[in-house]
């Protein structure tokens, strides 16, 4: 006997419609520029413009702030489909969510109304948490925001490895506001605008992959901002930052699923066309086993990401575990699938005539940023042991 409850485990028609729409955009307006974006290490402006025009630039922004109000799963689908064409471009909607999620979690209504409509209109939002000596150890940050006692704070110090730095107009920055306070409870979040005096950027990092997404330092030299830019309560910044990551790690899982799917698509097309020993190499059982494993692991990753996205939307108590698991598992799968795709293409996979070598390079970062996969395993273990 079949259980009718099982019929509900499927994407809604709205989710499928979003996938169709963003896939068309990614295919027509993003994929054709991906190789050049990588080769020139330039920002994917074509993708930026297409995403703004189609309202997929920051789909998570609620309708009351002039956004389209896409749920967490729909946002993941957007990121997945863009990453299938170009991982660098997928960092546009992904980092817009990362940068603005602290506002959605903790900011006053005034701050939300001031900045979220600007994001929905096409002004990027980046996220300033990591520092050179405070990566996984976020509580070890040294960037400071001094309370001037006149309704302003002055920032000094820097942030490192900031995605889309320099192209984003808005930044959520975590800074120490009580240097003598308890470690981790002395950090506050602020919105910093690109035009603020005393705020600048370091040189672009030269990276293995995601070359189209600029990664730079944020530099603060007596950057004074009004205290009404504070996001959440004073001293709650690190708590807000970590809660943000519970939600946004899932988008990295979606990105990983997307690049893995893109690599599998290329590999499938290639093995059906490439002939050796008088037949298509797709007919060799050894390669069929590789393809089956790639597809099986990819689909397992996709389902885990979708489940985590649903938990993000509901704010489930076990979100920390599932967010970490989705990011960790999907990124490990992406690295394996893209590497196997290069192997399936042989020498052709190792040259830039085909996109799988770029996909392999791009996939690597998904195991590192928004918390390394070693950190994800610590997060999961702590949740299990509570």
CATH number for the domain harbouring residue 195: 2.40.110.10
Separation in Å, CA 148 to CA 152, 177, 180: 6, 11, 16
Residues acting as catalytic residues:
370
Structure tokens belonging to residue 57: 């630039």
Strand partners, 220: 157, 199
Q: Are residues 295 and 357 in the same domain?
A: yes
User: What does the pLDDT profile of the chain (386 residues) look like in tens digits?
Assistant: 445 454 446 899 999 999 999 999 999 999 999 999 999 999 999 999 999 999 999 999 999 999 999 999 999 999 999 999 999 999 999 999 999 999 999 999 999 999 999 999 999 999 999 999 998 999 999 999 999 999 999 999 999 999 999 999 999 999 999 999 999 899 999 999 999 999 999 999 999 999 999 999 999 999 999 999 999 999 999 999 999 999 999 999 999 999 999 999 999 999 999 999 999 999 999 999 999 999 999 999 999 999 999 999 999 999 999 999 999 999 999 999 999 999 999 999 999 999 999 999 999 999 999 999 999 999 999 999 99
Q: pTM for the whole thing? A: 0.96
Residues 6+ apart with CB under 8 A from 345: 266, 267, 270, 354, 356
Distance CA 95, CA 124 (A): 8
Distance CA 101, CA 293 (A): 35
- Note the residue count of the chain: 386
Using the 3D structure, point to which of 206, 234, 262 is the last residue of a domain. 234
Q: How many structural domains does the chain have?
A: 3
Q: Are residues 145 and 265 in the same domain?
A: no
Q: Are residues 327 and 342 in the same domain?
A: yes
Q: Are residues 116 and 205 in the same domain?
A: no
Kindly compute the dihedral angle of the four CA atoms of residues 135, 139, 142, 146, in this order, to the nearest 10 degrees.
140
Using the 3D structure, point to which of 120, 139, 168 is the last residue of a domain. 120
178 backbone dihedrals φ, ψ, rounded to 5°: -140, 85
Using the 3D structure, point to which of 120, 139, 170 is the last residue of a domain. 120
Q: Which domain holds residue 150?
A: 125-234
């Amino acid at each position: 006997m079949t259980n009718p409850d099982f019929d509900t485990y499927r994407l809604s028609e709205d989710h499928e419609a979003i996938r169709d729409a963003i896939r068309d955009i990614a295919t027509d307006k993003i994929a054709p520029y991906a190789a050049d974006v990588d080769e020139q290490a330039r920002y994917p402006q074509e993708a930026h413009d297409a995403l703004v025009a189609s309202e997929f630039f920051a789909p998570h922004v609620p309708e009351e702030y002039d956004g389209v109000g896409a749920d967490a799963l729909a946002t993941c689908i957007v990121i997945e489909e863009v990453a299938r064409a170009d991982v660098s471009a997928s960092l546009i909607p992904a980092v817009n969510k990362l940068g603005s999620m602290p506002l959605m979690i903790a900011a006053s209504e005034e701050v939300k109304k001031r900045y979220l409509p600007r994001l929905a209109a096409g002004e990027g939002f980046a996220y300033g948490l990591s520092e050179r000596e405070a990566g996984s150890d976020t509580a070890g940050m040294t960037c400071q925001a001094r309370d001037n006692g006149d309704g302003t704070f002055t920032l000094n110090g820097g942030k490192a490895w900031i995605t889309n730095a320099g192209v984003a107009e808005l930044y959520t920055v975590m800074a120490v506001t009580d240097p003598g306070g308890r470690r981790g409870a002395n950090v506050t979040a602020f919105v910093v605008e690109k035009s603020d005096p005393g705020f600048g950027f370091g040189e672009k990092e030269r990276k293995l992959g995601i070359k189209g997404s600029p990664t730079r330092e944020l530099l603060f030299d007596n950057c004074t901002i009004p205290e009404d830019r504070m996001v959440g309560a004073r001293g709650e910044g690190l708590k807000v930052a970590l809660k943000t990551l519970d939600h946004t790690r899932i988008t990295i899982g979606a990105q990983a699923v997307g690049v893995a799917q893109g690599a599998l698509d290329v590999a499938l097309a290639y093995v059906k066309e490439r002939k050796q020993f008088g037949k298509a190499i797709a007919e060799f059982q050894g390669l069929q086993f590789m393809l089956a494993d790639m597809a099986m692991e990819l689909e397992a990753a996709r389902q885990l990401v979708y489940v985590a996205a649903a938990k993000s939307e509901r704010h489930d108590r076990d979100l920390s575990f599932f967010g970490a698991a989705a990011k960790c598992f999907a990124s490990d799968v992406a690295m394996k699938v893209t590497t196997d795709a290069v192997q399936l293409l042989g020498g052709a996979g190792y040259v830039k005539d085909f996109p799988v070598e770029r996909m392999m390079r791009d996939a690597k970062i998904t195991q590192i940023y928004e918390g390394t996969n070693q950190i994800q395993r610590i997060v999961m273990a702590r949740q299990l042991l509570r």
